[in-house]
């Protein structure tokens, strides 16, 4: 039996879920910081290793992946975010702004010709050409998960009590125990 999945279905619902999970990560980190001698500032600036970026960057990159996808594939107006978040509250605000963008997208704005050209213009690395399919499935989705899992790992390394279920199902809508 052949089934198909649209570009919208392959990206937007998963990214919305991932950002909601990120909210949970940050909520648990805030609670952890209240009970342990780990200042919030240390959590948001922590790096897994010296040449990796901190938690703030991981949240910003998840956000950027979503908002750039909205612009490049769905024609959403560009949204400037300053990348200057310095607190958990500001990271939550950024996630909320990004969720509003994703929630405003319709399947019809994303779907259509999966072979259409998408250009990714970067300041530091130049311009890259993708098909819409490759951009979403082979770049956006893996990039989003890379930064989401990096944020998870940063917080786990600092002792924040997160579990695999927090990563997979913060909304508690996926796993339905039957026995």
For position 37, what pLDDT does the model report? 85
Over range 91-96, report the average pLDDT. Answer: 98
Model confidence band, residue 176 (pLDDT cutoffs 50, 70, 90): confident
Are the beta carbons of 88 and 30 closer than 8 angstroms?
yes
Model confidence band, residue 115 (pLDDT cutoffs 50, 70, 90): very high
* pLDDT tens profile 34-93: 998 889 999 999 999 999 999 999 999 999 999 999 999 999 999 999 999 999 999 999
pTM above 0.85, yes or no: yes
Q: At a CB cut-off of 8 Å and minimum separation 6, what does 175 contact?
A: 165, 168, 169
Q: Is 58 helix (H, G, I), strand (E, B) or coil?
A: helix
Read off the DSSP letter of residue 158: T
Read off the DSSP letter of residue 178: -
Separation of alpha carbons 93 and 48, rounded Å: 24
Domains contained in the chain, CATH given: 7-169 (1.20.120.450)
């Amino acid at each position: 039996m052949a089934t198909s999945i649209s570009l919208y279905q392959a990206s937007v619902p998963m990214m919305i879920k991932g950002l909601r999970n990120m909210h949970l990560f940050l909520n648990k980190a805030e609670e952890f910081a209240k009970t342990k001698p780990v200042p919030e500032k240390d959590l948001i600036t922590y790096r897994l290793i010296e040449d990796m970026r901190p938690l703030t960057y991981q949240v910003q990159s998840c956000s950027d992946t979503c908002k750039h996808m909205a612009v490049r594939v769905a024609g959403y107006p560009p949204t400037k975010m300053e990348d200057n978040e310095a607190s958990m509250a500001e990271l939550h605000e950024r996630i909320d702004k990004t969720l509003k963008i994703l929630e405003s997208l319709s399947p019809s704005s994303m779907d259509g010709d999966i072979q259409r050209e998408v250009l990714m213009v970067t300041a530091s690395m130049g311009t890259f050409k993708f098909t819409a399919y490759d951009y979403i499935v082979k770049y956006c989705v893996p990039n989003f998960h890379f930064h989401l899992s990096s944020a998870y790992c940063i917080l786990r390394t600092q002792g924040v009590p997160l579990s695999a279920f927090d990563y997979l199902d913060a909304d508690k809508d996926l796993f339905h125990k039957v026995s």
